[in-house]
Each structure stands twice: as C-alpha cells, then as structure tokens.
Amino acid sequence: MQLEPECIGCLFNQVLRAFKLVKPDISREKVLSAQKKLMEYLIKVDINDTASPIIGKTAYGLVAETLGIKDPYFDLKKRYNQIALEFYEEAQNIVKNAEDPLLKALIISALGNTVDMATQHKIEFIDDMKTFSSDKFVINDYAQFKYSLENAKHLLILGDNCGEIVFDKLLIETIIKLLPDLEIIYSVRSAPIINDVTLDDAQMVGLDNLVKVIESSPTPGVDLNTSTEEFKHYFYLKGGMMLSKGQGNFESLYKLPIPQKEVYYLLKAKCVLMERIFQVNLGDLIFKKKNADF
C-alpha cells in the first residue's frame, strides 16, 4: 500500500506517541530532531513507489536511533505478553463453552488487538470476551471463512502485536481441534519493530510448540522484498488460506494480487484511513474476505 494523504500527519504523531510511551521524559529537542529527520526522509523518498511498511520501519527506526536502543519496546512487549497470559485460562473456558468455539476464538483473537492490556481492568476484558457477539463485527465474512477453512490445505496467519499473540494461540488450538489435518503456519517479524510479534514472543507464549512459526520481514507489516524465502514460499503456496491480523498487515496486502489463495482480514479500524477504505467508524471491528478492491 502506498502512503495516503491521511498517513503523513499520522506518521509524525506515531513517532511522538512512541517517545511518550517508551521514554516520557525525553527532551523536546530530541523529539523534534527525530521528526525533522522523518521530514527529510519523506522529502527524498518517492512516496508513490515506497510501500508503507518501509516508511513505517524508517519512522520507528528513528525512535530507536534517538534512544540508542535496538528494541525500545522490549520491556513493554514482555509485559503485554505476561498480562495476556493471565487471561488465557479464562479465555480457554469461554471458547470451550461457546456454542460456536471457532467464532468465539476469532472474536477473542480480534479483541486481543483492541484492548490496552496495560490499563484495562481484567473484569472488563473478561466481560467483553463473554458478551461480544458476531453481529458487532460491522463487516463479517465468518461464514465464508469457515467454509474456506474446511476446504483448505494450509492456513498462514500473519501475526500482529504482542499480547494479542496469546489469543492467536487460543485460536490456533481451536482450529486444530476442529481440523487436525490442516497445516497451520504463523508468521512473525524478522526483527524487532514497534510492539509487533517476533520469534522471541512466539517462544515466550509457547506458540512454537504448537505450530510452525516463521519470520517474515523486519517491517510493521509485510514487505515481500525483504521477507525471508521461507515466508514467501508459504505466502504464495497454492491451495491455502491467509488470515491477516491487524492494520499493518492489511496495509501491506491492500490491493496486492495474491493468486490462488483466499485472504481474510481481521482488524480494528484505528484511523481515518481505515474509516474511508472500509466505510466504517473509528473503533469498528472488521472481518472481511479480500477482493480486488481490498
């Protein structure tokens, strides 16, 4: 996906929010210096020929460079994983007792991306998991997804954020119970970037003991030019499906032809661009099958 007009201001705000989250006492001079470097980069680069994950990587690379830390989100990611693991047993019970365990597992996987687990009260999140129903998806292609899944040879899941990965694990466990012969592959980033999942996070929550975990690209989304050969193999492998989690992965796949593979997006509309593309409201949850327009 190319940059859209809504993205420019958002990039600078993301850099500012990153500093405030990781190092709240950072000086204004350092923040402005990083933002200036981002301006200079955007002026030099061909924004019509540079994918958004590459630009995102540059923006967050400036945060890491300014702080002198390779992985500024390291401690936060571990904390989010640990907090999510505290919800895991309760989430398992909710899925186990659901009328449609697969649908409930998908809902919980989606909710894992919507909640700030560092601040959200446990009781509120448990209540959301219990009461959220499929009709709250403003776009809901679950019926098509379930049919496709039952006829697929393999499923590639594009992982998104830390914390959320715990509930992706629960979704995968649920799918395995329903379709034990389905090959499931879970992709993570090949290097630390923002709070996106890496191999370390998959190992921390035990996902690597459940399915094959592979690395994709060192970007906040999928960049095929810098992706591993293993990832590209599964990305283009015929006869399967892809479940794309989160906005970064959606932006990477938006209008990208992926022949002979059905792709489903599971995400929350977190910015005005998503509002415009999907014709939804900010905060809406979306479960949509990819087509030529998306």
Give tens-digit pLDDT for 96-108: 999 999 999 999 9
pLDDT for residue 47: 85
Instruction: Give the residue carrying structure tokens 């989606």.
Output: 110
What pLDDT score was predicted for residue 115? Answer: 56
**In whole angstroms, what is the distance from residue 105 CA to residue 111 CA?**
10
Which SS3 state, helix, strand or coil, does residue 140 take?
A: strand
pLDDT for the residue numbered 120 = 39
pLDDT on residue 118: 42
Supply 199's token pair.
């191999």
DSSP string covering 143-189: HHHHHHHHT-SEEEEE--BTTHHHHHHHHHHHHHHH-TT-EEEEEEB
Amino acid code (one letter) for 103? L
Quote the pLDDT of residue 4: 85
Residue 16: exposed, middle, or buried by beta-carbon count in 10 A (0-12, 13-18, 19+)?
middle
Burial of 48 (0-12, 13-18, 19+ CB in 10 A): exposed
Global confidence as pTM: 0.94
What confidence tens digit (pLDDT) does each residue in 242-290 have? Answer: 999 999 999 999 989 988 899 999 998 888 889 999 999 988 899 999 9
Regions in the chain scoring below 50 on pLDDT? 117-121
Q: Which of 155, 154, 169, 139 is nearest to 289 (CA)?
A: 139
